[in-house]
């Protein structure tokens, strides 16, 4: 109990405030007729998962970071087996594993984010040589790519993207030169620019100009020859293969991307969510319509308003000030975690904190971005807000690891 009293209670206050805010919004989302008719009371289930999550946080925080590091590869392997099991048992589309005899379903990919952070932190912390070439990135990329690929096969594009937020942030914190961080991102930029050209959204040859810029940048920074050839070829192939890759996407995936550029092209279909989301946020004004009084919500115009689209509900009922408060709480939580990473006594602890911050940041930026039309809809929940037991548990276990790091920094 002494350890609990010595928690970072500023961080805990932020976490509990966001969770409370989230439960209140889930309760509000439950008040529409279609939700009540289903017999599912989401806020009660979320409160039940919150109890399990708090217990998990306290248990995890009782261990030392050395113990957490010791079991990092084991837990990573265990979650990989879980992801493989989902695919082999034919439950990939459902993305859940059932715990026998409990009636509880668990989304393995959520917890795999945390175990991947721990495994990657352990590897990077124990390297004797600094990262300064492509061959040094093979194992770190593999550690992240494996669970990301298994998650993508479920298919769950949104969750798989978060693994790359984790990889990028932790490589940066490990000291990877900025030029290599840019080169790692360059194939994605190439794909995006080539896709814009393919869809006819922009006639200006941006992809060609980017490719020339990339070649000049590689030459100017005197990148190792093999690394230079690799990144040049990958970017060239990305531009060439964009068309067949686009054609390989399922129609609903293509439609989500097309609707991102022009939501009005399918206002009654794929564009419905983003249009109604913008309407809900905009209709809240400065102070909102009042708690439980959101009209877009009450008329059930806003789909998934207790999960992926809970943020527009905040805007509708609490207005700009409610949105500002929520984002401020998230900002201070991320700031607190980064500060913990900066002062941590070991590389493993520091890298783990950065990995957790990047995982939360990825969810926040994508979820908020897609609800206001700045990003395609990928189906990612908002941390501590959105309904979902697996995700809430993962967030609290992550905070438990952070408290474990904080207690060691405090000498406990």
pLDDT, tens digit, 9 for 90 and up, residues 356-386? 999 999 999 999 998 887 787 777 899 999 9
pLDDT band of 40, cuts 50, 70, 90: low
What pLDDT, on a 0 to 100 scale, did the predictor assign at position 271? Answer: 66
Sign of CA dihedral 261, 265, 268, 270: negative
For residues 109 and 80, give the distance between their C-alpha atoms in angstroms, rounded to a whole number.
9
pLDDT for residue 35 is more than 80: no
Residue 281 lies in a domain: yes
Mean pLDDT of the chain: 86
Residue 83 lies in a domain: no
pLDDT for residue 244 is more than 70: yes
Q: What percent of the chain has pLDDT over 90?
A: 49
Contact 384, 24 (CB under 8 A): no
Interval 324-335: pLDDT, tens: 999 999 999 999
pLDDT for residue 92 is more than 50: no
pLDDT for residue 253 is more than 50: yes
Residue 167 lies in a domain: no
Residue range 386-397: mean pLDDT, rounded: 93
Question: Which range among 104-108, 323-327, 387-391, 395-399 shows the weakest confidence by mean pLDDT?
Answer: 104-108
More confident residue, 201 or 338: 338
Residue 148 lies in a domain: no
pTM listed for this prediction: 0.91
Range of the domain at 49: 1-67+263-412
Q: How many domains does the chain have?
A: 1
- Which residues 6+ apart lie within 8 Å of 399 measured at CB? 11, 12, 15, 57
Residue 396 lies in a domain: yes
Residue 407 lies in a domain: yes
pLDDT band of 355, cuts 50, 70, 90: very high
Interval 57-87: pLDDT, tens: 999 999 988 999 999 999 999 999 989 888 8
For residues 360 and 330, give the distance between their C-alpha atoms in angstroms, rounded to a whole number.
9
- Which residues 6+ apart lie within 8 Å of 319 measured at CB? 284, 285, 286, 287, 288, 289
pLDDT for residue 388 is more than 90: no
Residue 400 lies in a domain: yes
pLDDT for residue 270 is more than 70: no
Where residue 62 falls (left for φ over 0; alpha for ψ -120 to 50; beta otherwise) is alpha
Contact 109, 95 (CB under 8 A): yes
Residue 187 lies in a domain: no
Residue range 375-403: mean pLDDT, rounded: 91
């Amino acid at each position: 109990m002494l350890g609990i009293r010595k928690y970072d209670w500023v961080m805990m206050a932020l976490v509990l405030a966001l969770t409370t805010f989230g439960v209140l919004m889930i309760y509000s989302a439950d008040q529409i007729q279609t939700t009540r008719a289903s017999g599912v009371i989401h806020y009660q289930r979320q409160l039940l998962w919150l109890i399990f999550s708090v217990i998990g946080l306290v248990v995890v925080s009782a261990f030392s970071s050395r113990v957490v590091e010791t079991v990092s590869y084991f837990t990573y392997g265990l979650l990989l087996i879980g992801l493989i099991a989902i695919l082999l048992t034919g439950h990939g589309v459902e993305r859940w594993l059932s715990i026998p005899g409990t009636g509880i379903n668990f989304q393995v990919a959520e917890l795999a984010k945390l175990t991947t952070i721990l495994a990657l932190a352990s590897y990077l912390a124990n390297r004797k040589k600094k990262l300064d070439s492509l061959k040094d990135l093979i194992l770190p990329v593999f550690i992240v790519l494996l669970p990301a690929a298994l998650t993508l096969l479920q298919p769950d594009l949104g969750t798989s993207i978060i693994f790359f937020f984790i990889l990028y942030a932790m490589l940066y914190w490990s000291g990877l030169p900025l030029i290599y961080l840019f080169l790692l991102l360059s194939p994605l930029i190439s794909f995006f620019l080539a896709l814009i050209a393919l869809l006819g959204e922009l006639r200006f040859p941006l992809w060609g100009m980017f490719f020339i810029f990339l070649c000049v940048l590689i030459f100017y920074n005197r990148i190792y020859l093999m690394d230079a050839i690799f990144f040049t070829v990958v970017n060239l192939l990305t531009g060439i293969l964009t068309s067949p890759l686009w054609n390989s996407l399922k129609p609903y995936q293509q439609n989500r991307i097309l609707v991102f550029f022009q939501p009005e092209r399918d206002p009654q279909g794929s564009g419905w969510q983003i249009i109604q989301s913008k309407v809900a946020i905009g209709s809240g004004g400065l102070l909102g319509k009042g708690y439980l009084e959101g009209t877009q919500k009450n008329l059930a115009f806003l789909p998934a308003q207790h999960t992926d689209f809970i943020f527009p509900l905040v805007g509708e009922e609490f207005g700009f000030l409610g949105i500002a408060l929520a984002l401020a709480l998230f900002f201070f939580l991320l700031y607190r975690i980064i500060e913990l990473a900066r002062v941590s006594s070991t590389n493993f602890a520091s890298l783990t904190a950065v990995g957790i911050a990047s995982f939360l940041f990825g969810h926040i930026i994508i979820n908020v971005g897609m609800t206001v039309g700045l990003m395609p809809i990928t189906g990612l929940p908002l941390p501590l807000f959105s309904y979902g037991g697996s995700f809430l548990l993962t967030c609290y276990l992550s905070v438990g690891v952070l408290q474990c790091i904080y207690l060691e920094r405090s000498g406990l």
